[in-house]
Amino acid sequence: MKNIVILTGAGISAESGLRTFRAEDGLWEDHPVEEVATPEGFARDPGLVQRFYDERRSGVMAAQPNPAHEALGRLDREFAGELLIVTQNIDDLHERGGANRVLHMHGEALSVWCTACDTRHRWEGTLLDGPPCPSCGQVSMRPDIVWFGEMPYRMNEIFHALSRADLFVSIGTSGAVYPAAGFVQHARENGAHCLELNLEESLGSRMFHETRLGKASELVPAWVGEVLG
């Protein structure tokens, strides 16, 4: 095995205390998703959306990586082949778990985007109080999050890596949101072995050659141990 692509979702951070999206009530931290995760929602009530992501930012900073993040950090350090960890998560727990080869396709809680001068800045504070952009001085900064209806980041790079992968591993994602939900099909059609690690069967489970059910904090360290021998 020379080339691994990993896709992670909210399930890998659940045991770090960050809530997943598809809870039974269909709400994300008590909000309908179209209120807080669409450009239309932001246009309608910017204060509500800024406050929502201010809370996500402080929640991410308070969370700690769990054994699943740490195992992927170990894989990144010790696996000599090509590796790309594509995450749908906006937290930085992969990085704090020691992984470097990480791509945030849905943006990052600790990054903000100035729509006036198109720069991005690392941000640990709030946006609700309307701070000026450090680059241009305009009050035009929004969360650097890919909302519904917007294009996920670095898709060409991701599909290129999927085309070349000999192993594709999906961890803790429900397979409900495209384009990420379609990665398994692309990897499989291009010859990758496809492995799913998840708490329960997902919408895409039948697309995988193998599904292992359980907690990420147990399944991921065990799988990394197998890969590294």
The site for ligand OAD (CB under 6 A) is made up of 9-11, 14-15, 20-22, 37, 88, 106, 146, 172-174, 176-177, 198-200, 202, 215-216
Of the pair 123, 147, the CB lying nearest ligand OAD is at 147
Q: Least Å distance between CB 136 and ligand OAD?
A: 26
Rounded Cα distance, 205 and 174, in Å: 9
Query: Three-class SS of residue 33?
Result: helix
Of the pair 118, 150, the CB lying nearest ligand OAD is at 150
Question: Sign (positive/negative) of CA torsion 92, 97, 98, 102?
Answer: negative
Rounded Cα distance, 194 and 209, in Å: 5
Q: Least Å distance between CB 74 and ligand OAD?
A: 18
Q: Least Å distance between CB 37 and ligand OAD?
A: 5
Alpha-carbon distances of 21 from 10, 32, 140, 227, rounded to whole Å: 7, 11, 28, 30
Omega within 30 of 0 (cis) for the link into 67: no
Of the pair 89, 123, the CB lying nearest ligand OAD is at 89
Of the pair 105, 114, the CB lying nearest ligand OAD is at 105
Asked if residue 181 lies in contact with residue 208, where contact means CB atoms within 8 angstroms, the answer is no
Q: Which of 106, 121, 160, 186 is catalytic?
A: 106
Is 193 catalytic? The answer is no
Q: Which of 47, 88, 57 is nearest to 171 (CA)?
A: 88
Q: Least Å distance between CB 14 and ligand OAD?
A: 4
Residues assigned a catalytic role: 106
